[in-house]
Amino acid sequence: MFLQTSKTGLLGLHCPRYWHGTRTQNINDPQSSQAEPMRNSIFGLILTLTALILFIPPLQASERGSQTNLPIPRFVSLKTDTGNVRRGPSLNHRIDWVFKRRDMPLRITAEHGHWRRVEDRDGMGGWVHYSLLSGTRTVLIEKDMLTLHARPDPAAPVVAALELGVVARVSECTLEWCLLRSGGFKGWAPKARLWGVQSTEVFD
């Protein structure tokens, strides 16, 4: 029994003894009878492994921005006090609304020339010029009176508490915690209570 690659690139199983002609066996041979279940088990295992190889989908590469080659989606922040949000990626498109909160976190979902399609915490957004955006990372607090800890540990001393909706700067993240700065205070908060960072992001 052996594996062979066909012209189509698919794996084919070849077992001449079982697939061509009629297999003969001496029913009075106890050794042959004992080997039969083992052969069937091996044959079934090979079929199962082959099916897994053929039908497991390939890993998808993460999407990259056409202009920056940076990951899509990704988080940025609003650099200015106000930012016009347009229906399309040019000055010829109408302004649908205006962002009015400096440092608010935004998620980039597409790129086109000097324009970026962004969305806020509620999924509202549109196209803004890249000059209005900053790589400074900020987050939106999603729990009222969220406590900041001296260390990334729920048992660590509490240094401050932030109200729901506060925008804080983030300088470091582990898989579960982020180091925030707001109102002169600095401390660690659970990532699950923040909007503005990916759940798998780790940076410092």
Domain-located, residue 11: yes
pLDDT at position 101, please?
Answer: 97
Q: What pLDDT band is residue 119 in, cutting at 50, 70 and 90?
A: very high
pTM of the model: 0.70
Mean pLDDT of 35-63: 53
Domain-located, residue 68: no
Inter-residue contact 106 to 125 (CB < 8 Å) = yes
Last residue of a domain, one of 119, 136, 153: 136
- pLDDT, tens digit, for every residue of 137-173? 999 999 999 999 999 999 999 999 999 999 999 999 9
Quote the number of domains for the chain: 3
pLDDT at position 193, please?
Answer: 98
Same domain, 131 and 170: no
Q: What pLDDT band is residue 9 in, cutting at 50, 70 and 90?
A: very low
Q: What pLDDT band is residue 14 in, cutting at 50, 70 and 90?
A: very low
Rg (CA), the chain: 29
What domain range is 100 assigned to?
A: 74-136
**Dihedrals phi, psi of 91, to nearest 5 degrees:** -70, -15
CATH for 170 = 2.30.30.40
pLDDT at position 22, please?
Answer: 36
The region of weakest confidence among 5-14, 109-118, 150-159 is 5-14
CA dist 30 and 34 (Å) reads 6
pLDDT at position 116, please?
Answer: 98
pLDDT at position 169, please?
Answer: 98
Task: Indicate the SS3 state at residue 166.
Answer: coil
CA distances from 119 to 27, 109, 125, 166, 172 (A): 73, 8, 4, 18, 23
